[in-house]
């Protein structure tokens, strides 16, 4: 066994021991340093190995700022949580506090006081979180009882003639006109057909009796009075969703839809029009693409501000803006607006943002870009807005062919992009290619925009002439790819393994053959990944038209507040439940409600905080990774916010040198980068509680540098780097290295 293998195995053993103990704040660097020392002295018991690991940790902690033991403790507690996957318990906090106090040189009295203070603070925080969850549960149970009572009072259509004293035919007409408020609508199946089953609340029906005489008068026009039920008021508003955007409706807008396959010049066409306008907005699906729009406008001599969920760059005198879709400004009028990737209208998670942008952007000309299959969706929106629509069809600028033979991994060469569908497969393929002498760039969803741009640049400029990527390259990245090689023709979509769709294969495969750089593009499948004939069939199949052309819509702050007021509730969860259950009738011909599942999951815990309703709604919209305990973290932040404390910036603490970083260190950096996305998003909405924005930006830059450094080192393989082993030395966090803000372990 080689020395490197021995070192790696011993390091993993030490980390496993630390994980099992639950109170040893070890980092991969600590484990490696301890492993080197143990290899020098020979075999050791588990207890002796842990003692060596603690000694190395002690040396690192002793080098920390002794004037800020709270910051040192916070970093150590974070290390334990990262290692074990859960926050340290009270006994672990006592052990960590003792280690930190000893490393800081505190006398016994000060060390005891530190332990007591930290334990008391943690107990207080745990009690607050427990009380918040209990309070949320009590509110939820009370609302469920109230809803159950309300539902028990509902009556069907058959009861309305008796309540109003008019024939059923008139009842049905008034329901269709929206004069009679529907309390609940469900779809039932009878004889293989779907029917809409409507229910009504007697109190609302009897309140209509004074109006019945006027409604039955032949000359009386339809009177659409305010619907008292909060959920139905929201439904009526969504039935006329386009009217919500008063500024856009006041303009004589025209919609230009530019459709075509990838590499057809859609973005170039739109950006030229945008740059020629006096003012404009470019709306992108990702922060990375908003940055590219900003750069493209700058290359055309146009200064543009940048607005994303994480940051705002506002330049004096700029009359153009590049932004992400959710940041679309629906009250600032511009001459031209460009909305990219319109096929996202069908996306179950974000489609409502495209609906709001296309309907609501106040621009004289709205240029919508997308694949051909987006056309019926955009046309439906234009009809609902009663606005003219022009279609511009562009053809691909370079030929594209499908390879008749599968491609072996050994045949992957320069300007090839191998496309996989999971992070694990990305790194496995990269390792195999590196072993064959390739230098490889990687692009996948967990990478931040700056790192993706850096990896794209290395591929574009030849520093890493082979690319391995997820389907993230299918959305907007302009890369000099000659051949796209699918690793498989199936993917796991979060629910099931399924075949790639024709739209997906065309969108990704179309990235091959960048115009002006390659004479043609080639699309292929990796040997063992599928049948080339199947790939050809997918490429040649026209994407099926959307099964539902109704645009998705989602509630906004104003509507959430209105419904809560009408219901007489302060529960965000109950408000969202009523929106989901009664806002849009299943048979509504114009709109459908977007999925609110994640927002409701967050609302279920946020209701236990003391934050106002609309602040809780803002938290429910925050982009979090639920797989990384994101909702629990949001609750901790919200409790600190509600208490008037400053919410601490997430940090990665000590980072090893990129040359020595393993996959665990890379994954941790990616996790913290995602947490920073959520923190920076909240800082845009609550600047007083999320105040240290400069420190957060610096920490994000530090993580981006680290991640890109690791990817560069891994791109060529450890065996080919050569040179002396780098000197050990911790890279401090961004700024002065101190933990900032209110850490969950800091008083």
Q: Which pLDDT value is given to residue 66?
A: 63
pLDDT-based confidence at residue 584 (cuts at 50, 70, 90) = low
**d(C-alpha 306, C-alpha 320), whole Å:** 9
**d(C-alpha 175, C-alpha 161), whole Å:** 12
Q: Is the pLDDT of residue 719 over 90?
A: no
**d(C-alpha 731, C-alpha 654), whole Å:** 6
pLDDT-based confidence at residue 741 (cuts at 50, 70, 90) = very low
Q: Which pLDDT value is given to residue 716?
A: 64
If we measure between CA atoms, which residue out of 272, 254, 136, 60 comes closest to residue 634? 136
* Torsions phi, psi for 307 (to 5 deg): -130, 110
Which residues share a beta bridge with 389?
255
When pLDDT is averaged across residues 635-639 and rounded to a whole number, the result is 95
97-139 residue pLDDT tens: 999 889 888 999 999 998 999 899 889 888 998 999 999 899 8
pLDDT-based confidence at residue 500 (cuts at 50, 70, 90) = very high
Check whether domain 242-393 has CATH 3.40.50.300, yes or no = yes
Q: Which pLDDT value is given to residue 614?
A: 96
pLDDT-based confidence at residue 744 (cuts at 50, 70, 90) = very low
Q: Which pLDDT value is given to residue 718?
A: 46
Residue with structure tokens 């990687």?
A: 442
**Sheet-wide strand order for 280-284:** 312-313, 304-307, 320-324, 280-284, 334-339, 363-370, 254-259, 389-393
Residue with structure tokens 């980072």?
A: 655
When pLDDT is averaged across residues 612-638 and rounded to a whole number, the result is 92
Strands (E), 138-284: 155-156, 184-190, 193-200, 254-259, 280-284
Residue 497, helix vs strand vs coil: strand
Q: Give the CA diameter of the chain.
A: 102
pLDDT-based confidence at residue 724 (cuts at 50, 70, 90) = very low
Residue extents of the structural domains in the chain: 155-218, 242-393, 400-540, 554-620, 622-747
Q: Which pLDDT value is given to residue 221?
A: 39
Q: What would the two tokens of residue 558 be?
A: 């104003």
Q: Is the pLDDT of residue 730 over 60?
A: no
When pLDDT is averaged across residues 503-519 and rounded to a whole number, the result is 88
Query: What is the residue-averaged pLDDT of the chain?
Result: 86
DSSP characters over 636-656 = HHHHHHHTTPPBPPP----B-
**d(C-alpha 507, C-alpha 529), whole Å:** 19
Q: Which pLDDT value is given to residue 736?
A: 38
- Is residue 326 within a helix (H) or strand (E), and if so which, with residue range? none
268-289 residue pLDDT tens: 999 999 999 999 999 999 888 9
Q: Is the pLDDT of residue 725 over 50?
A: no
pLDDT-based confidence at residue 76 (cuts at 50, 70, 90) = confident
Bridge pairing between strands 440-443 and 389-393: unpaired
Q: What would the two tokens of residue 252 be?
A: 């004589």
Q: Which pLDDT value is given to residue 194?
A: 66
424-457 residue pLDDT tens: 899 999 999 999 999 999 998 888 888 988 999 9
pLDDT-based confidence at residue 734 (cuts at 50, 70, 90) = very low
pLDDT-based confidence at residue 722 (cuts at 50, 70, 90) = very low
Q: Is the pLDDT of residue 515 over 90?
A: no
Residue 477, helix vs strand vs coil: coil
Q: Is the pLDDT of residue 479 over 80?
A: yes
Check whether domain 400-540 has CATH 3.30.9.10, yes or no = no
Q: Which pLDDT value is given to residue 366?
A: 97
pLDDT-based confidence at residue 727 (cuts at 50, 70, 90) = very low
Q: Which pLDDT value is given to residue 228?
A: 39
Q: Is the pLDDT of residue 498 over 80?
A: yes
Q: Is the pLDDT of residue 235 over 60?
A: no
pLDDT-based confidence at residue 717 (cuts at 50, 70, 90) = low
Tell which wins on pLDDT, 28 or 744: 28
400-540 and 242-393 share a CATH fold? yes
Q: Which pLDDT value is given to residue 122?
A: 85
Q: Is the pLDDT of residue 726 over 50?
A: no
pLDDT-based confidence at residue 249 (cuts at 50, 70, 90) = very high
Q: Which pLDDT value is given to residue 27?
A: 84
Instruction: Say how many CA atoms lie within 13 Å of 221 toward its Cβ.
Output: 2
When pLDDT is averaged across residues 461-468 and rounded to a whole number, the result is 94
**d(C-alpha 339, C-alpha 323), whole Å:** 10
When pLDDT is averaged across residues 709-736 and rounded to a whole number, the result is 53
Q: Which pLDDT value is given to residue 191?
A: 67
DSSP characters over 125-160 = HHHHHHHHHHHHHHHHHHHHHHHHHHHHT-EEGGGH
Q: Is the pLDDT of residue 746 over 70?
A: no
Contact 553/236 with Cβ under 8 angstroms? no
Q: Is the pLDDT of residue 493 over 80?
A: no
Tell which wins on pLDDT, 102 or 195: 102
Percent of the chain with pLDDT over 70: 90
If we measure between CA atoms, which residue out of 409, 299, 312 comes closest to residue 680? 312
366-415 residue pLDDT tens: 999 999 989 999 999 999 999 999 999 999 988 999 999 999 999 999 99
Q: Is the pLDDT of residue 230 over 70?
A: no
Q: Is the pLDDT of residue 225 over 70?
A: no
């Amino acid at each position: 066994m080689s020395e490197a293998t021995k070192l790696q195995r011993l390091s993993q053993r030490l980390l496993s021991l630390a994980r099992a103990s639950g109170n040893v704040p070890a980092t991969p660097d600590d484990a490696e340093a301890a492993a080197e020392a143990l290899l020098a002295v020979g075999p050791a018991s588990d207890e002796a190995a842990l003692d060596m690991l603690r000694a190395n940790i002690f040396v690192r902690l002793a080098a920390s700022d002794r004037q800020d033991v709270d910051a040192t403790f916070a970093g150590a507690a974070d290390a334990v949580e990262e290692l074990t996957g859960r926050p340290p318990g009270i006994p672990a906090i006592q052990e960590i506090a003792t280690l930190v106090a000893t490393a800081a040189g505190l006398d016994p009295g000060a060390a005891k006081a530190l332990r007591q203070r930290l334990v008391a603070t943690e107990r207080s925080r745990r009690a607050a979180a427990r009380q918040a969850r209990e309070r949320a549960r009590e509110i939820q149970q009370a609302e469920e009882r109230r809803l159950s009572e309300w539902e028990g009072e509902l009556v069907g259509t058959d009861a309305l003639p008796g309540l109003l004293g008019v024939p059923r035919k008139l009842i049905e007409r008034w329901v269709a006109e929206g004069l009679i408020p529907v309390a609940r609508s469900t779809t039932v199946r009878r004889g293989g057909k779907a029917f809409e089953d409507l229910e009504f609340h007697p109190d609302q029906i009897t309140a209509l009796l004074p109006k019945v005489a006027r409604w039955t008068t032949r000359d009386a026009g339809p009177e659409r009075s305010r619907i008292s039920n909060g959920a139905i008021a929201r439904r009526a508003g969504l039935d006329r969703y386009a009217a919500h955007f008063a500024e856009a409706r006041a303009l004589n807008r025209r919609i230009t839809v530019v459709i075509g396959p990838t590499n057809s010049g859609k973005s170039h066409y739109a950006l030229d029009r945008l740059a020629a306008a006096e003012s404009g907005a470019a709306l992108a699906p990702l922060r990375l693409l908003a940055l590219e729009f900003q750069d493209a406008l700058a290359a055309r001599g146009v200064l543009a501000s940048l607005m994303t969920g994480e940051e705002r760059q506002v330049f004096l005198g700029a009359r153009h803006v590049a932004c992400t879709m959710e940041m679309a400004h629906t009250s600032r009028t511009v001459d031209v607006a460009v909305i990219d990737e319109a096929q996202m209208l069908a996306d179950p998670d974000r489609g409502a943002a495209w609906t709001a942008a296309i309907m609501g952007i106040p621009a004289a000309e709205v240029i919508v870009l997308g694949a051909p299959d987006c056309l019926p969706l955009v046309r439906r929106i234009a009809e609902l807005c009663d606005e003219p629509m022009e279609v511009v069809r562009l053809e691909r600028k370079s030929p594209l062919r499908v390879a008749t033979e599968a491609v072996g991994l050994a045949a992957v060469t320069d300007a090839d992009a191998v496309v996989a569908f999971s992070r694990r497969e990305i790194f496995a393929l990269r390792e195999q290619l590196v072993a064959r002498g390739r230098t490889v760039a990687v692009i996948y969803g967990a990478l931040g925009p700056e790192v993706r741009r850096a990896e794209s640049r290395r591929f574009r400029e030849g520093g890493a002439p082979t690319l391995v990527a997820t389907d993230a390259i299918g959305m907007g990245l302009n890369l000099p790819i000659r051949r796209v090689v699918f690793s498989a023709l199936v993917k796991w979509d979060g629910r099931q393994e399924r075949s790639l769709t024709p739209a997906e294969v065309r969108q990704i495969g179309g990235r091959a053959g960048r115009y002006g750089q390659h004479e043609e593009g080639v699309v292929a499948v990796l040997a063992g990944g599928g049948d080339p004939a199947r790939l050809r069939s997918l490429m040649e199949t026209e994407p099926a038209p959307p099964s539902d052309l109704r645009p998705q819509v989602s509630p906004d702050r104003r509507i959430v507040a209105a419904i809560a007021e009408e219901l007489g509730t302060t529960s965000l969860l109950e408000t969202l439940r009523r929106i989901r259950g009664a806002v849009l009738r299943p048979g509504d011909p114009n709109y459908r409600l977007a999925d609110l599942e994640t927002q409701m999951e967050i609302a279920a815990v946020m209701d236990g905080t003391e934050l106002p309703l609309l602040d809780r709604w803002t938290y429910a919209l925050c982009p979090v990774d639920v797989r990384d305990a994101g909702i629990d973290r949001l609750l901790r932040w919200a409790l600190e916010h509600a208490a008037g404390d400053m919410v601490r910036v997430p940090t990665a603490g000590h980072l090893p040198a990129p040359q020595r970083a393993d996959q665990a260190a890379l994954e941790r950096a990616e996790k913290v980068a995602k947490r920073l996305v959520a923190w920076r998003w909240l800082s845009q909405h609550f600047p007083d509680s999320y105040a240290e924005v400069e420190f957060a930006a610096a920490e994000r830059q530090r993580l981006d540098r680290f991640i890109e450094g690791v990817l560069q080192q891994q791109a060529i393989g450890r065996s080919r780097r050569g040179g002396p082993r780098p000197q050990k030395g911790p890279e401090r966090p961004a700024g002065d290295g101190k933990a900032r803000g209110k850490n969950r372990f800091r008083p």
